[in-house]
Amino acid sequence: MSKKRWIGILSICFSIALFVSLLWGYGERQQKQVLYNQLEYQYQRAFYNYVGNLENLKLLTGKARLSGNLQSAILLGEIQAEASAAATNLAVLPMKDDLSRSLVYYNQLSDYALSLSNSLSRGESISANDRATLADVYHQLQGIYDNTMQLQEAVAVGGAKFVNLKSWTSSIWPTAQAQTTTGIGSGFADINRTINGYQQLDYEGKYASSMLTMTAKGLANYDKISAKEAESAANQYLKLCGLENYEIISAGEAASAQIPVYTFACGDSNNSINLAVSESGGKLVSLFGEISGSGKQQNMDVKSAEAYAGSLLKDLGYTDMVLSSVQTNDRQAVMKFVRKADDTTYYPDSINVRVDLDKGLISGFDASQYWLNCCERDFSGKEMYDQQAAIGGLGKDFTVSGSSLAVISDGAGSENLCYEIRGKYDGEEYWDYINTDGGKDECLLLNSVSGDSYYQR
């Protein structure tokens, strides 16, 4: 073959290779742009929802400081929901600076409103001190809202973005982190410092100051891991959850919190999720976001999803969990598992798992309550209230179907060992919890059943 012919063939091969390379580069660019747009939309939606929560909280607390007990009960319920939603939306935003004090502020406000609402339900009135506290909160929210409006203006005009898009020649993934140069990150950091100067609310509840000093009891005996070890664990958890196509986009250092965790933003070409691995022990603490792809079994029914979630928990090392409740909505099944050992159910040691029934994949996971509460309990030294006396006190029309021991939380940091007495009254199933120490009726729950869903409330 002549030299010219060889040169011609090589030229054609080089041209083809160049074309393929350019085509691949264009595809990579498009893939990056799609994920960038999806992440930016997700964060802006959470931001605008947060602004709406703030506006509603300002209005509601302004009314609650003046209203009578009946109207206050309604307003406090709305304050509880809006403050909880504000914390959720704020937690989604990819801020470089630590906003933990802001998250505590909204969670405490939600919890405080619930505490006042419970007092009203017991026939008590809102005290003068509590009305003064509501007035203080109103003025605090006014200042937070005014500062947040400046951030909203920056986002609205399009100059401020939540996602930095790296150059096309670097990693194909954008870094999910608000730029301080646009004023979003620094603005939220300024607000967080302002909130840090507010006195924390004085009340009894799960987000009270005394509760926030709790450490994760279940992780106390585990050694700390490095960021590199946490990243390796995160990749392993992605595989266990059937998300092996997801890659780590960005990572955050272990943050100071009740459960110090390494955080990871992960994604494929279509969607992104957030994953948290505990600094102590490298345990999967949470996973949430939009998922894509499909599992081995698609179009699951709820029973199959329950078995799938239970199997995943065993793969993750949770061998003593039992299903407590299931709620389904929009082809998503949210299941709550609780720990059971020695014929005693430990409700504080709970894990929530969400399964996408159509895709047959885990779409949500939260083991934070498990690791915060799981430990050896000692209820010895107290005389056990007679179980038959506890059952007899429920009334002759209550038909008992079963009873066992259960540990429940009192909502303010303590736990009670109770008789869990299950039965029916007027055709409905109730679960009553009688304290084994003295026989006090601690809690009564209705077991609601609707289709494939069942849960206690």
Task: Give the Cα separation of 358 and 80 in Å (integer).
Answer: 33
The residue-averaged pLDDT of 432-437 equals: 90
Q: Which residue has the higher pLDDT, 203 or 221?
A: 221
Q: Which residue has the higher pLDDT, 359 or 188?
A: 359
Token digits of residue 451: 């289709």
300: left (phi over 0), alpha (psi -120 to 50) or beta: beta
Confidence check: pLDDT of 447 > 70: yes
Those residues with Cβ within 8 angstroms of residue 306's Cβ, 6 or more apart along the chain or in another chain: 323, 326, 333, 335
Token digits of residue 195: 């909130």
Task: Give the Cα separation of 397 and 206 in Å (integer).
Answer: 35
Query: Which residue in the block uniquely carries the two structure tokens 């050992």?
Result: 341
What's the burial of 427, exposed, middle or buried (CB within 10 Å: 0-12/13-18/19+)?
Answer: exposed
Token digits of residue 328: 């389904």
The pLDDT, as a whole number, for residue 92 is 76
53, 107 in Cβ contact below 8 A? Answer: no
pLDDT digit string (tens) for 21-58? 555 554 555 555 556 666 777 788 888 898 899 999 99
Confidence of residue 214 (pLDDT cuts 50, 70, 90): low
Task: Give the Cα separation of 436 and 331 in Å (integer).
Answer: 40
Task: Indicate the domain borders of the chain.
Answer: 28-213, 218-373, 387-456
Distances (CA, A) of 283 to 92, 317, 318, 374: 21, 10, 11, 14
Task: Give the Cα separation of 105 and 53 in Å (integer).
Answer: 13
Confidence of residue 163 (pLDDT cuts 50, 70, 90): low
Token digits of residue 81: 């929901």
Confidence check: pLDDT of 340 > 90: yes
Q: How many CA atoms lie within 13 A of 447 on its CB side?
A: 15
Q: Which residue has the higher pLDDT, 206 or 81?
A: 81
Strand partners, 456: 447
Of 181-195, 318-332, 423-437, least confident by mean pLDDT is 181-195
Strand partners, 295: none
Task: Give the Cα separation of 404 and 355 in Å (integer).
Answer: 29
The pLDDT, as a whole number, for residue 167 is 33
DSSP tag of 423: E
The pLDDT, as a whole number, for residue 168 is 29
Phi, psi of 175 (to 5 degrees): -90, 120
- Residue 353's closest CA among 317, 319, 308, 320? 308
DSSP tag of 217: G
- Residue 442's closest CA among 422, 420, 457? 420
Task: Give the Cα separation of 344 and 346 in Å (integer).
Answer: 6
Confidence check: pLDDT of 222 > 50: yes
Task: Give the Cα separation of 94 and 196 in Å (integer).
Answer: 20
Task: Report the alpha-carbon angle 153-158-159, nearest 5.
Answer: 85
Task: Give the Cα separation of 31 and 36 in Å (integer).
Answer: 9
